[in-house]
Amino acid sequence: MDLKKVDDIIKRWKSNPSFAIEMLQDVQESLRHLPKEALQRIAQATGTDLSRLYHLATFYKAFSLKPRGRMPIQVCTGTACHVRGAQRVMDAFSRELQVEPGETTEDLLFTLEGVRCLGCCSLAPVVTMGKSLQGSLDSSKVGRLLKRYKKQVEKEAKHAWADD
C-alpha cells in the first residue's frame, strides 16, 4: 500500500492529534476504508494510541476497516420503507450484486447496506446510490438502475485510476 496519501493527509493536519477524526475522514474518503497501515501511520505521527484510533474507526458508522465500493448503496429499512417493500428492494440489490447487506462487490464498485431512516418517508421505499436519492423504488427496477450506475461508476473509476 502506498502511504503517500496518508502522509499528505497527516501533513495537511500538521500531525495534530486534536484532528485525528478529520485525518480518519480524509483517509476514508481517499482510500474508501481505513487500512491498518494508515491507522499505524497516523498513530505514530500524532502520538495517539493506536487503540484510540481503532475505537474511533469502529465507533462511527462513516468509517470502515474493510474496503468499500466506489458507490455506496443504502436501502432505507425504516418503518415506512419496510411497509412499502424495502426488503424486496434489498433482496433485489443483493441478487443483482451477488453480495449480502454490509458487503462490497469483488470489483469494489458497490457496497450494499441497510440504514434505519433516510428521512423522506413519503417517497418510500427509498435508496441512495452515492449522492443520488431514488424514491418509490420498485424491486423490478433495480437491475436497470444498477446497469445505469455501473456505467457511471466504471467511467469515474477509470478516470480516477488514470490520475493515480
What are the DSSP calls for 48-95, one per residue? Answer: --HHHHHHHHHHSTT--SS---SEEEEEE-SHHHHHTTHHHHHHHHHH
| pLDDT for res 164 | 55
Question: Which grid coordinates belong to 99?
Answer: 453480495
Residues 88 and 141 grouped into a single domain:
yes
The answer to whether residue 75 is domain-embedded is: yes
Residues 120 and 45 grouped into a single domain:
no
Q: Supply the CATH number for residue 94's domain.
A: 3.40.30.10
Residues 75 and 145 grouped into a single domain:
yes
Residues 88 and 126 grouped into a single domain:
yes
Helix (H, G, I), strand (E, B) or coil at 20: helix
Residues 39 and 98 grouped into a single domain:
no
Residue range 92-114, pLDDT digits in tens: 999 999 999 999 999 999 999 99
Residues 30 and 102 grouped into a single domain:
no
Residue range 33-77, pLDDT digits in tens: 999 999 999 999 999 999 999 999 999 988 999 999 999 999 999
pLDDT top residue among 163 and 40: 40
pLDDT top residue among 139 and 152: 139
Residues 13 and 89 grouped into a single domain:
no
Residues 92 and 53 grouped into a single domain:
no
Expressed as residue numbers, the domain containing 121 is 71-163
The answer to whether residue 64 is domain-embedded is: no
Mean pLDDT computed over 142-149: 94
Contact assessment for residue 42 and residue 24, using Cβ atoms and an 8 Å cutoff: yes
Residues 29 and 104 grouped into a single domain:
no
Q: What pTM was computed for the model?
A: 0.82
The answer to whether residue 88 is domain-embedded is: yes
Residues 42 and 119 grouped into a single domain:
no
If one counts the domains in the chain, the total is 2
Q: CA nearest 46: which of 30, 22, 64, 62?
A: 22
Mean pLDDT computed over 110-126: 96
| pLDDT for res 39 | 98
